[in-house]
Structure formats: C-alpha cells, structure tokens
Structure 1
Amino acid sequence: MSFSLLRRQRVLAAVLLVPASAPALAFTFGGNAALTSDYVWRGTSQTQGDPAVQAGLRLAGDGGWYASLWGSNVEFAPETHASSEFDAVVGWSGALAADWALDVNLTHYRYPSTTLDLNWTEANATLTWRGIGWLQVARSNDALASGDAGTYLQLGARWPLAETFRLEAAAGWYDLDAYDDGYAHGLLSAVWAFKAPFELRLSAHATDTAAKRLFPDLAGTRIEAAVQATF
C-alpha cells in the first residue's frame, strides 16, 4: 500500500468518526393552526369582521432560542390590496426563577400582497408568573408601518376551572405617536380543551372610544369564536 493511499484512508476514517463524537444539536418542531370567525389583534379586527384561517410553525433549539413563522388572511382598506399577513419571529424564552419566565423576541410583520409598504418590525418582551399571569411590553419605531413610534402594554391572567376548561382575561394599552393618541382594549375568553390538541375558544373584545375614533368599523365590541390546535 502506498503512503498516499494510506493517508487518504486515515483522513476518510477521521471524517467519518467526527459526527459520531461531536455533540448533537437538539431541535424541536411545533406548530399551531386555527379557524376563527374574526381575526382580532389588540382589540381591532384585521379582517373587517370576516373569518380567518391561520397557521404557524416553530423551531426551538438548545438554550431557549427559537424561530417561528405564522400566517393569516387579512382584509384592510380596498386600496391597500392586502390579503395576507406573515409574522417572522426570532427570540429567546426561558426560566428566570422558580416562578418566573421571560420571552423576548423580534417580530417582523409582512404583507406580501399589498401595493403599499405596510411591513414593520417590533421588539417584544413578556414576563410570566407561574404560567398564570403575564405582562407584555412591545415597542416599535415604525408602529403599524406609520414611520412613528408605538408602545404596547398588556396585562393578562388565566384561571384553570377544570381539567379541560379555563378562563383568560387581558387588558391592553396601545400608545401611537402617529396619531398623537392611544387606546385601551380588553378581552375575556373561555377555552374548552375538548380533545387534545384541539380547543374551542370564545372571546369577547371591547375597546374604548379612542379606538373607535382611530379605527372606525374595526374597533368596538365584538365576539370571536375559534377552533385551534397546538402540536
């Protein structure tokens, strides 16, 4: 056997052994899907009160880092020609202490079908206590693609009433520099986990008069029903 052939065999053997000895990277995949009677976001309808089909995928790695992609149909003013929304998210989530957890992420909202530039990006942080209560803070220098800043705050809680039934409630405030104004909204949801991984959700949404002034016909009081699944 020649020296060059022996050297090639040793290199090949080393290459084959490296994957076996290298630490494996652990990734987990998940997703969600929903059919809802109305896509309501921060108290306002994104579909003019019409139904929406929604789905998302999530890839999580070691150390709490994750990336996700979520999509839904939308219906804005006719001149925007917007019919779809895709949210791309990169972030980190993990435990801070025995009772506290934190999720921080960057969310990019994209509307590929529109003829206008409606895309924008937002930084989010959500602090959760015992999986029961949460505080969310979000900030963007281009809120709603307006070119001006916006800050969103939400305080929420969930109450398990039975093994398959729970209530959820949240109150939010959205301060929008583009309008020199802000608005408040609230929601109350009843969730029935009737058969894993499926759930039925019935939500009542309400906004203040400022929201009705800023977003006529999209804000106010409305009921949303949805069937959703997380896997």
Structure 2
Amino acid sequence: MSSHHLFRSREAAVPLVLAVCAGVGLLALGTRAHAAEPGGIQLSGSAALASDYVWRGSSQTQGDPAVQAGFKAAAANGLYGSVWGSNVEFAPQTHASSEFDFTLGWAGQVAEHWAVDVNVLHYRYPSTTTDLDWTEFNGSVTYRGNYWLSLGYSNEALGSKQRGLYSQVGARFPVNDALRFEAAAGHYFLDDVYDRSYSHGQLSAIWAVKASASKANVELRLTAHATDRNAERIFGDSLAGSRIEAAVQASF
C-alpha cells in the first residue's frame, strides 16, 4: 500500500506482534508448505523481516522496520486467493498500524514463453479513524519468466475517490542458481488525486539460500529505491526520494 497522502499515514504496535506470531507460525509450517492438499489445492506461504516497507517507491513505515507474512491457496486451474500483512506507520491522526492485502485472481501460461496474472486486490487498514481501505484491479504479462509488464487501476486510488493508474516494467537477471539481480521502473498516474504523477525505480540483488532442514527457501535481498521530485512533493522527502531496503524472506 502507500503512506503517500494525508488520508493514509500510519503507526505500529499490536499488529507488529501479530505479524511476528504469523511469521513464526509460517516457519513452523515449513515442512508442509507447497504440498498438494486434497482437491488439488496447493498451499504456500512466506514470512519476511525488512529494514523498511517500501511500496511503489515510498516508505510505508516512516523508514522503520517491517514484519510481513502471507498465505496463498492455488487451484490446478490457475485460480488463487491470498492474504498478506505488514505493520505500517502513516500520519498519526489515522491511527493506522497494520495493512492486510486480500487478493483473488487467475494466473497461468497462455503461450510457450508467456504467462498472465489478473487479479483483484483489496487493501485493508483495520482500527483506523478514517476509511483508508481501497481496491485495485491488476494485470501482468511475463515473458520467459524474466521480463514483465504490470498495470494496476483503481477508481479509489490510495483511499481517495479518484482514479489512479500504476504501470511497471521489470527484468530479472539470473547470475547462477543462487544469485540474481532485478530491476524495475514504475510510473503512477495520480493527476486526479494530486494534480501530478510520479516515477520511481529500483534495483535489487537477491541471494537465495536453500534451507534443506526445514524445506524452506530463504532469500536475502538488498534493494536501492529512487523516486522523482514529484513523489517527494506528494509524499514528502522523508517518505520518497532515495533509500536502501534490506530484507530476509523465507518461503515454503
């Protein structure tokens, strides 16, 4: 999500504890994750600890660490549902301290080298003094698993009552089985919300570690983020601009 505007800014405490508990639970499920359940449903999950929660170029935690966890259930026909959560810190008056993202979608191969993912994503912020919740329609096309184009549209962008369109292009560059680099550039069309739009870019180095004992995959990630001046005008210098994010994530 995003702490970009005055009607979305945040704070953290109890949800952070809940997220930690969820992460511990995910780690405990390591040996059962990705197993095919009765009815052809595959379950997977992830837990992460990050030095910052950066979303579309800007910090969602005022530069503070974030604990995150998620679950996904996918059917053999490509339909899936997922829930993901993180602590956040927006403007103090909103009293927002947690974010939960609920997704329903379909993903699958449409040609030999092409894959598509279309979904509806709902951002929810419990226990806030104002209505920050909003919904976005997303679609992405991936080529050979390493190059992608994504679009996200909402008529209530960032919790407003206005339209917003987000676009991103990205590429993945594997060095070997353990190391890869990823680069992405995005542009968020927010003229209806802020009378301006902004661009951002990011570059990541990701090291994958096989944790055979727990059958969980662990990734260490270091990402450099940068935004243009419009993002700083919208969200402030402390949330946008340049920043480095480090994270460790376990998936199973």
**Equivalent runs, 1:91-170 vs 2, <5 Å:** 91-170=105-184
CA contact (8 A) 1:25 1:62 kept: no
Distance (whole Å) between structure 2 residues aligned to residue 181 and residue 129 of structure 1 = 31
Specify every segment of 5 or more residues in structure 2 that has no aligned partner in the other structure, as ranges.
1-37, 212-216
For residues 135-189 of structure 1, the C-alpha deviation after alignment (integer angstroms, 9 at most, x for no partner) is 0000000000111000000000000011100000000000111112100000000
CA contact (8 A) 1:29 1:60 kept: yes
Name the structure 1 match of 2:207: 192
Name the structure 2 match of 1:21: none
Give SS of 1:212's match: helix
Please state if 1:220 is matched with 2:241: yes
Post-superposition shift, 1:114?
1.0
Distance (whole Å) between structure 2 residues aligned to residue 51 and residue 120 of structure 1 = 24
Post-superposition shift, 1:77?
0.5
Name the structure 2 match of 1:181: 196
Q: Whose RCO is larger (CA < 8 A, sep 6+)?
A: 2
Give SS of 1:113's match: coil
Name the structure 1 match of 2:43: 29
Give SS of 1:178's match: helix
Please state if 1:52 is matched with 2:62: no
Please state if 1:203 is matched with 2:218: no
Distance (whole Å) between structure 2 residues aligned to residue 106 and residue 32 of structure 1 = 20
CA contact (8 A) 1:36 1:226 kept: yes
> Which is further off, 190-199 or 150-159?
190-199
Aligned length: 208
Specify every segment of 5 or more residues in structure 1 that has no aligned partner in the other structure, as ranges.
1-23
Give SS of 1:181's match: coil
Percent of aligned pairs with the same amino acid: 62
Structure showing greater radius of gyration is: 1
Question: In structure 2, what residue type is equivalent to 1:202?
Answer: L
Q: What TM-score, normalized by structure 2, do the two folds share?
A: 0.81
CA contact (8 A) 1:188 1:203 kept: yes
Q: What TM-score, normalized by structure 1, do the two folds share?
A: 0.89
Distance (whole Å) between structure 2 residues aligned to residue 31 and residue 110 of structure 1 = 19
Question: In structure 2, what residue type is equivalent to 1:227?
Answer: V
Question: In structure 1, what residue type is equivalent to 2:208?
Answer: A
Give SS of 1:219's match: coil
Q: Once superposed, which parts of structure 1, at least 4 consecutive aligned residues long, lie more than 6 Å away?
A: none
Post-superposition shift, 1:98?
0.3
CA contact (8 A) 1:174 1:182 kept: yes
